[in-house]
Chains A and B, each alone.
Chain A
Amino acid sequence: MNVSRAMSKRWAQQCVFNRIVAFSTKPTQHAAAVSEPAAEQETVATPAAATAQPATTTPAPTTARKPIVPSNYRFIYPEFLPDPKVEWRNPIREKLERLDMLDRRRQIDLPEFYVGSIMAVTSSDPHAAGKTSRFVGICINRDRCGLRSRFVLRNVIDHQGMEVVYELYDPTIQKVEVLRLEKRLDDNLFYLRDALPEYSTFDENMEAEHLEEGAPVPVNDIKVVLRPRPWLERWERQNLLGVANIDQYIKDKHRKSAEKVQKPWEKFDMMKQYRSTIPEEEQKEVFAEVHTELHSMELQRKRNKRKRTFVKPKQLA
Chain B
Amino acid sequence: MNQADVTKLISQLRIAVRPNQRNLKNPDGPEGRLLKLRKTVTALMKHERIELYYNRADEARGYAELLISNAIRHGDRHKATMELADYWLLEKQLVHKLFKVLVPRYENYNVSYTRMYKAPRDYPGMYYRQSVLELRGNPYPSLLMDQSQNRNLLHNVLLDEARKEFRRKKLADLVN
Contacts and interface: CB of A to CB of B under 8 A. Distances in A.
Interface string A155-193: 000000000000000000000000000000000000000
A292 interface: no
Interface in B53-68: 59, 62-63, 66-67
B111 A144 contact: no
A269 interface: yes
Nearest to A24: B110
A19 interface: yes
B99 to A, nearest CB: 17
A282 B12 contact: yes
Contact of A270 (B4, B84, B111): B84
Contacts of B13: 274, 279
A229 interface: no
A78 B84 CA distance: 27
A276 B21 contact: no
B8 to A, nearest CB: 7
Contacts of B14: 23
A278 B18 contact: no
Contacts of A88: 1
A263 to B, nearest CB: 7
A85 interface: yes
A147 to B, nearest CB: 10
Interface in B31-83: 31, 34, 59, 62-63, 66-67, 70, 83
Q: Which of A263, A272, A275 has the most CB of B within 10 A?
A: A275
B5 interface: yes
Contacts of A283: 6, 9
A64 interface: no
Nearest to A143: B3
A145 B2 CA distance: 6
Given A19-B12, A274-B62, A277-B10, A86 B34 contact: no
Given A23-B111, A268-B34, A273 B8 contact: yes
Contacts of A79: 3
A268 B87 contact: yes
A268 B88 contact: yes
Interface residues of A, number: 49
B3 A149 contact: yes
Interface string A55-96: 000000000000000000011001101111111100000000
A23 B111 CA distance: 7
A312 B10 CA distance: 54
Contacts, number: 112
A13 B9 CA distance: 27
Nearest to B112: A23
A277 B110 contact: no
Given A145-B2, A268-B84, A270-B66, A86 B19 contact: yes
A27 interface: yes
Nearest to B16: A16
A269 B16 CA distance: 18
B67 A270 contact: yes
B30 interface: yes
Nearest to B66: A270
B11 interface: yes
A272 B1 CA distance: 17
A98 interface: no
25 contacts: A23-B110, A25-B111, A27-B110, A28-B108, A78-B3, A81-B3, A84-B2, A143-B1, A265-B34, A268-B34, A270-B62, A270-B70, A270-B84, A273-B5, A274-B10, A274-B13, A274-B17, A274-B66, A275-B19, A275-B20, A277-B4, A277-B6, A279-B10, A283-B6, A283-B9
Kindly list the 6 A-B residue pairs having the minimum CB-CB distance in the complex, ordered from nearest: A86-B19, A279-B12, A144-B1, A270-B66, A16-B16, A74-B6
Interface of A: 14-17, 19, 21, 23-28, 74-75, 78-79, 81-88, 142-146, 148-149, 263, 265, 268-283
Given A23-B14, A27-B108, A83-B1, 13 more contacts: A15-B18, A23-B111, A25-B110, A81-B3, A85-B19, A268-B34, A270-B70, A271-B59, A273-B5, A274-B62, A274-B66, A275-B19, A281-B11
